[in-house]
Amino acid sequence: MRTVLFLLITSIAAMLFAGTTGKIAGTVTEDQSGATIAGANVILVGTSLGSATDSNGNYTIINIPAGRYTLEVSMVGYENRKIKNVKVKADQTTKLDITLGTEKVKQEEVVEFYAPVEKRAMSDQVRGVATSIGYMGAVGGEGYIDYNTEEYDKIDESGFFQVIQKPMSTFAADVDAASYSNARRFIMQDQMPYKDAVRSEEFINYFSYDYKQPEQDKPLSINMEYSECPWNKDHNLIHIGLQGKKLAREEQRTSNLVFLIDVSGSMNSPKKLPLLKKSYKLLVEQLKPEDKIAIVVYAGSAGLVLPSTSGANKAEIIAAIERLQAGGSTAGGAGIQLAYNVAKENYITEGNNRVILATDGDFNVGISSTSELVRFIEERRDEGIFLTVLGFGMGNYKDNRLQELADRGNGNHAYIDNIMEAKKVLVNEITSTLFTIAKDVKIQVEFNPAKISSYRLIGYENRKLEDKDFTDDTKDAGEIGAGHTVTALYEVVPAGKENANEQYDLKYQHTTIKKDARITDEVLTVRIRYKEPDGRKSKEFSEALIGKPVKLSKSSNNFRFSAAVAEFSMILNDSEFKGDSNLESVKNLAKNARGDDPFGYRVEFLTLVDRVKVLKEQN
């Protein structure tokens, strides 16, 4: 009976609307990059009709009575746009593609002055400590800082290891990309970044690569390639890439998120709290109704601004964010304690329980030492509450502190220098930012001494592990989010024919290369250990690289673009292993390996290379 009644009502509705209504459909994109915009609201002004763009930027509004309308499109981080006199005809679809420009900040908000480059250069001699560059704003004005106190840990580059003496290289996976966007901030201000601010692995991993998807029973796939080294003709380069399993929206865990926001006086600057608020609003727009959000702030003291609230109440959450103001000292430790307590009170079993910390890292009240904070965060990590760290601002940014907190909190670290970076981290890459698919991911590479004489891992200096740590499940390692790619490059010296029958004799032991190693085509074996997001016991799988190196021109876009980024990072941090690296080589290599670049990140990379070239020519 119900079925008959439903069909009757449907038939009547069809007859009533037949010949009287039409549709509007199209795609919403960014006006500069052409990238599609997901989650934009498209409404007909003065009506209750509207739609939101899907993950591909497409929208459709149905059952529109024939006539003329004003269409309004809005999305956080973009300027609203109204299109008047849109004509809808009965039984027809009006095709209307729309472009949006990014939201512009008022001119007076972006006036920032820095000390001259030559004055800044003196501080490059002081590594791993607070720098001493003058940061000048309007004297006595908001956001004024007398001196630049940014902090970066000293980077001691990994050198070459002889395979016969150290055949294995072990390190933790790293998906952080804060170093790249932070360095970009310097370059866009016509300054060279500090050498210790440039972490090569984070430059490489800022970009995603076109890797094969994992098999059904694994969260990760291994992808390898072997070719020539662009900056040293006598060496080769080995590219190892991991691809995290992608999650459809229905596969994503329900989220219990706590926004932990620094509202201290040091955040009173256009590139800090105002940008932070816009960034969090972008994230709120991605929430599902079943997700939960709480907001904790800290300044002179910590407080709960918004109790855990359903993602369906976006207006309430955004209103709470809008009310935030900066002022007072920084009780960072107290804020973190409160945020984790709120997360624990609202814990979702088998859900995504996470604290998202946004700060410049300048803690000075409460638990202020990094070691105390790390111990506290490690305890909560073991309870299933992870940490994402978003860094903001300049002048007093504490990169080293935020990096360690994220690493120890089973999370990731991003630096937000503009609204487009916020969109990259919190919209375009939202699943990889928030949803962990594998934790404590360790990578161990065993080289065949008959094929490789020596090797050097590019970057990952602060992620190195002892070989024995690989099978030790108590040792913390890196986390990989849904859809994330992790890429590592090894610069290698091929074994020469002269050592084919060589034996390695020491006073107290005798070392030889196995016969099987000489006749196999295997160059190396990669082993991966990981735990499930809620697991305590690790799993392992492996894959071997087989064959000889191909010509650089025959290598993939993945290989050549990652090599160009690595070369660029070595130029910026003046690596002792940069060889014949030069910016022209970087540009040519990257330009011819752009491949699919839907968001324009690789095009932007080429722009940064050009800017650095000009900066170097002027000094």
pLDDT of residue 42: 85
610 and 486 share one domain: yes
Q: Could you give the number of structural domains in the chain?
A: 3
Q: Domain check: are 191 and 289 in the same one? A: no
Residue 402 is predicted with a pLDDT of 84
- Is the distance from CB of 106 to CB of 35 less than 8 angstroms? no
Instruction: Write out the E strands in 266-396.
Output: 292-298, 302-310, 352-359, 386-392
Q: Identify whether the C-beta of residue 333 lies closer than 8 Å to the C-beta of residue 366.
A: yes
List beta partners, residue 446: 168, 525
SS3 percent helix, strand, coil of the chain, rounded to 5, is 30, 30, 40
Helix axes 557-572, 583-591, angle to 10 degrees: 160
Q: Where are the beta strands (DSSP E) in 458-615?
A: 478-481, 485-494, 504-505, 510-511, 522-531, 539-546
Separation CA 364–CA 367 (nearest Å): 8
Tokens standing for residue 289: 């109704």
Task: Tell me how far CA of residue 197 lies from CA of 128, 135, 153, 187, 374, in angstroms.
Answer: 10, 18, 8, 12, 21
Which of 264, 514, 511, 486 minimizes the C-alpha distance to 364? 264
Distance of CA 299 to the CA centre of its chain: 27
Token output for 31 = 């006006």
Query: Closest Cα partner for 466 from 235, 265, 169?
Result: 169
CATH number at residue 56: 2.60.40.1120
Task: Report the C-alpha gap between 157 and 191 in whole angstroms.
Answer: 23
Rounded CA-CA distance 562/593 in Å is 9
169 in the same domain as 287: no
Smallest Cα–Cα separation from 127: which of 152, 159, 148? 152
The answer to whether residues 210 and 283 belong to one domain is no
Decide if 295 is inside a domain: yes
- DSSP code for 461: G
Q: Do residues 228 and 290 share a domain?
A: no
CA dihedral 467→471→475→477, nearest 10 degrees, is 80
Of 77, 100, 123, the residue that ends a domain is 100
Q: Distances from the Cα of 443 to the Cαs of 405, 440, 455, 460, in angstroms?
A: 21, 10, 15, 11
Query: Is 411 domain-assigned?
Result: yes
Specify the residue for token string 């080995």. 238
Domain span at residue 533 reads 161-247+437-618
Helix (H, G, I), strand (E, B) or coil at 417: coil
Residue 459 counted as domain residue: yes
The region, left, alpha or beta by phi > 0 then psi within -120 to 50, assigned to residue 301 is beta
Same domain, 561 and 600: yes
- According to DSSP, the β-strands at 98-100 and 21-30 are parallel
Residue 333's pLDDT is 62
Nearest Cα neighbor of 332 from 417, 406, 260 is 260
pLDDT at 463: 93
Residue 488: both structure tokens together? 């590592």
321 in a structural domain: yes
361 and 221 in a common domain: no
Chosen domain end from 79, 100, 121: 100
Alpha-carbon separation of residue 356 from 36, 236, 260, 427 (angstroms): 26, 40, 6, 15
According to DSSP, the residues that pair with 99 across neighbouring strands are 29
Neighbours of 607 (CB within 10 A): 13
Same domain assignment for residues 374 and 322:
yes
- pLDDT attached to residue 367: 53
Helix (H) / strand (E) containing 376? helix 370-381
Q: Are residues 546 and 587 in the same domain?
A: yes
What CATH number does residue 337 fall under?
3.40.50.410
Which of the 8 DSSP states describes residue 233? T
What one-letter code names the amino acid at 512? T
Same domain for 235 and 263, yes or no, is no
- Say yes or no: 601 and 535 in one domain: yes
Q: φ and ψ at 69, to 5 degrees? A: -140, 165
In degrees, rounded to 5, the angle at the alpha carbon of residue 315 between the alpha carbons of residues 310 and 319 is 110
The reply to whether 150 falls in a domain is no
Domain boundary among 82, 100, 118: 100
CATH number at residue 205: 2.60.40.1230
Domain membership of residue 155 (yes or no) is no
**Rounded (5°) CA angle 215-219-224:** 70
Smallest CA-to-CA distance from 410 within 253, 532, 243 is with: 532
Residue numbers in the chain where pLDDT is lower than 70: 1-19, 33, 39, 55, 76-77, 103-147, 300-302, 328-333, 363-370, 497-505
Q: Is residue 467 part of a domain?
A: yes
- Asked if residue 459 lies in contact with residue 572, where contact means CB atoms within 8 angstroms, the answer is no
Residue 336 forms part of a structural domain = yes
Q: What is the pTM of this model?
A: 0.76
The answer to whether residues 93 and 206 belong to one domain is: no
